A and B are shown apart, each in its own frame.
Chain A
Amino acid sequence: AQKVTQAQTEISVVEKEDVTLDCVYETRDTTYYLFWYKQPPSGELVFLIRRNSFDEQNEISGRYSWNFQKSTSSFNFTITASQVVDSAVYFCALKENNFNKFYFGSGTKLNVKP
């Protein structure tokens, strides 16, 4: 079974629109970690955020915000006032306790048009 599901394969928005990328995860561990990565066309995966399972506080960093809800096993990512430079593939990932193994979702390609 998929441990991380990103149901949105591709999203297109016009610059300055807000956009939310969905991530749903599945785990039986009580301690786990969630991540978001950005992969621009250049190829390098860039770390955006980490969330521990015991910390449900939402986080805002500039135009980026993350909504972590254990009740629905979701860790959604919102970009406010999107810009062309936000165009990339975004991956959500899960790491369970005791293993150096990260489970990646299939990714969401975001196209921001001028």
Chain B
Amino acid sequence: DTEVTQTPKHLVMGMTNKKSLKCEQHMGHRAMYWYKQKAKKPPELMFVYSYEKLSINESVPSRFSPECPNSSLLNLHLHALQPEDSALYLCASSTSRGVDAGELFFGEGSRLTVL
């Protein structure tokens, strides 16, 4: 079983809805990530939090808003999405703070469909 838990597993939303994706890990990892993955493509980095601070934002549109309430939780708030935002959203965590790279541990993902 994965040690990174994502909810919900599936989400269907309209373009005017506001929803959130949640991610939780209890491995003591201090780096947490959001990736977006379209079909037949590699994961695409969106955001990285390191020690609960946003350290990387890959120029993601503001309709995606990340939040890291504490070291175990990571949220992705969604608002006014477009159909092209439909994808698998993957959360990951790692021990890495830069110098000593730990591997990424991924959750099972949240499959988002925007109508």
Contact = CB atoms under 8 A, between A and B. Distances in A.
Interface of A: 33, 35, 37, 42-47, 50, 52, 91, 93, 95, 97-102, 104-107, 109
Instruction: Give the 10 A-B CB pairs with smallest separation, nearest first.
Output: A104-B42, A33-B101, A45-B106, A44-B108, A95-B101, A47-B103, A98-B98, A100-B48, A43-B109, A50-B103
B42 A106 contact: yes
A47 B55 CA distance: 23
Interface in B25-72: 31, 33, 40-43, 45, 48, 50, 55-56
Most buried by A among B40, B50, B92, B111: B40
Given A33-B101, A44-B2, A102 B45 contact: yes
Contacts, number: 65
Given A50-B103, A100-B55, A100-B97, A45 B45 contact: no
Given A45-B43, A47-B103, A97 B98 contact: yes
Contact of A44 (B48, B55, B99, B106): B106
B73 interface: no
B34 to A, nearest CB: 12
Contacts of A97: 98-99, 101
Nearest to A94: B101
B109 A102 contact: no
B86 interface: no
A100 B94 contact: yes
B21 interface: no
B50 A100 contact: yes
B23 interface: no
B49 to A, nearest CB: 9
A101 B41 contact: no
Nearest to A49: B103
Given A42-B108, A43-B111, A44-B107, A98 B42 contact: no
A93 B108 CA distance: 19
